[in-house]
Amino acid sequence: MASLNILQKVQTYQKYSAAYLQNYYCFVSNANKKFENFQNITGNLGSSVGFKLPDRFVKSNGLMATFGGYEQRIKNISVTQSANVSFSVTNEERIFNVDKTGEQYMKEAGASAVQEFGSGVEQDLALNAISGVVDSFIDSQTYGQKNYLSGPYRFYRTGITNGKIDPIGGYTELAKMITKFKTIGHASDIKVYLPDITIPNIIGTGLNQFTPKRSDETTMSWAIGKYGYPEVEYLQSNLLPTHIAGTVGNEAVNHTLTVVSTNDPTGNKVTEITFSGATASDLNAIKYGDLFESVDDVSGYPDLRWLTHIGHHVTTEPVQFRVIADAIAGGDTNVVVKLYSGMDGYLSSVSGRNQNINTNIVAGMKFRVMPSHRAGLIISDNALLLAMPQLPEQSPFITANAYDDDSGVSLRMTYGSKFGENQKGIIYDGIWGSLAIPEYCERILLPVNSNL
């Protein structure tokens, strides 16, 4: 009977602690939990599950059907991460310190332990902004144990001054950022994650505007909250990552490279571009996660532009891509860059359902490499996925699994004595996996220096 009573208390503490993960962290609480327990899906084996993205089609003019077919697109989310927070107390400590304060002490200890665990989960989710989530295995979806299939290939930046990213200027800049994000395709349920240190300056620019409702809300909470139409939800985090660019991106003035060739001269499936213009024999020329943007007004060449996701219409947005491998410059200043971009991971100028840019990338075109930056993140259509399957019990130790239907958070708490060692131990642990679907998100480039 005593063990049942202890189990009941453990379950109570566990539910109390799980609430912290639900409410305390913005990435955890706002992520899509559709696949929280995919291990229970009939017929699914292994630590990954596939899900379907919208099919791709292409229209033909006239009434004569061409039956060109369509493409089904599948994405995978894998549970690759695990962590625990554990602590123990002696019998003397339980008698004189722990039990004396009763249940409240256990609530406080459990809450602190779960906050430590939750901080790790939150930070790991935030790494999707720079495609920096480290997998526990290497396969065709990873490079250097970082999952390059997760996270944005597009990005928003303000100006670059002396080789450094300028800060966001205020509400007008936010509106411009969201408009450019939506230009390539319709986006709904947009959430913007910004470093907490950037929020006061943005709010300060809007306090003198005659917007009574918004001004009252922001000055009372000192948070941006929801802004724009349709409303965009702005969230803040102190755990957003910093990307340190290679030498080319951090050059004070130029940071541009010239196209020499691509892996596919036809332009059908460009995944690799050879550039000139780096410093000869530079071992740190380009780094994983670096960002490239096409340069306009290059004499003799058309401006590179994105096409819309649906309809394949030319937009006003320059072509961008993310680097998926470090690149060393040769003695001839050439550097070979492996890229991820577009809905299918590559750039294509060939007419058809997979075309995503307006013209072929050819020798002589130029791209600008972005400098080091603190990353923010735009996510639409609930495309940041988090899976936290429940772990099994650890018999003969008392185990409680807390799962919250609303938040999708799952934690295991194990409680028991270390035989003959005068100690009782408590373990909080969990496993999870995350994925940010690339075409539904965008990286925000912000100054590394928090004073800007």
Residue-wise pLDDT for 55-95, tens only, equals: 555 666 665 656 565 566 667 777 888 888 877 767 666 65
Give the orientation angle of helix 199-206 with respect to helix 171-183, to 10 degrees.
110
**Whole-angstrom distance, CA of residue 224 vs CA of residue 231:** 12
**Final residue of a domain: which of 326, 351, 371?**
371
The answer on 264 and 195 residing in a single domain is no
Classify residue 284 as exposed, middle or buried by CB count within 10 Å of its CB (0-12, 13-18, 19+). middle
Can you read off the two tokens belonging to residue 443? 């990286």
**Whole-angstrom distance, CA of residue 44 vs CA of residue 41:** 6
**Whole-angstrom distance, CA of residue 261 vs CA of residue 282:** 20
The answer on pLDDT for 3 being more than 50 is: no
Q: What is the DSSP string of 86-114?
A: EEEEEHHHIIIIIGGGTHHHHHHHHHHHH
The answer on 14 and 151 residing in a single domain is yes
Predicted confidence band of residue 401 (pLDDT cuts 50, 70, 90): confident
Most confidently modeled range among 121-125, 146-150, 247-251, 423-427 = 247-251
Which residue type does 325 have? A
pTM flag (> 0.75): yes
State residue 416's pLDDT score: 79
The answer on 149 and 84 residing in a single domain is yes
**Final residue of a domain: which of 348, 371, 394?**
371
Q: Tell me if 196 sits within 8 A of 237, measured CB to CB.
A: yes
| 206 vs 14, higher pLDDT | 206
The SS3 of residue 14 is helix
State residue 115's pLDDT score: 78
| 416 occurs within a structural domain | yes
| 178 occurs within a structural domain | yes
Domains: count for the chain = 2
| 61 vs 431, higher pLDDT | 431
Place of tokens 């530079």: 282
The answer on 111 and 21 residing in a single domain is yes
CATH number at residue 293: 2.40.30
Which residue type does 167 have? P
Q: For the chain, what is the radius of gyration of the CA atoms?
A: 25
| 153 occurs within a structural domain | yes
Q: Tell me if 293 sits within 8 A of 368, measured CB to CB.
A: yes
| 66 occurs within a structural domain | no
| 65 occurs within a structural domain | no
The answer on 364 and 381 residing in a single domain is no
The answer on 437 and 345 residing in a single domain is no
**Whole-angstrom distance, CA of residue 14 vs CA of residue 16:** 5
The answer on 159 and 99 residing in a single domain is yes
Most confidently modeled range among 191-205, 222-236, 323-337 = 323-337
Percent of the chain exceeding pLDDT 70 equals 71
Q: Which of 6-15, 122-131, 203-212 has the lowest mean pLDDT?
A: 6-15
The answer on 298 and 211 residing in a single domain is no
The answer on 304 and 205 residing in a single domain is no
| 67 occurs within a structural domain | no
The answer on 238 and 384 residing in a single domain is yes
pLDDT digits 0-9 by tens, 302-315: 999 999 988 889 99
State residue 55's pLDDT score: 57
Pairing of strands 441-446, 373-379: antiparallel
Place of tokens 């590559």: 346
| 444 vs 393, higher pLDDT | 444
Cis before 230? omega within 30 = yes
The answer on 337 and 211 residing in a single domain is no
| 258 occurs within a structural domain | yes
The closest of 221, 250, 214 to 368, measured between CA atoms, is 250
**Whole-angstrom distance, CA of residue 404 vs CA of residue 19:** 8
**Whole-angstrom distance, CA of residue 340 vs CA of residue 324:** 6
**Final residue of a domain: which of 325, 351, 371?**
371
| 339 occurs within a structural domain | yes
The answer on 292 and 217 residing in a single domain is no
Residues spanned by the domain of 443: 1-60+72-244+372-452
Provide the phi-psi class of 94: left if phi over 0, else alpha when psi is between -120 and 50, else beta.
Answer: alpha
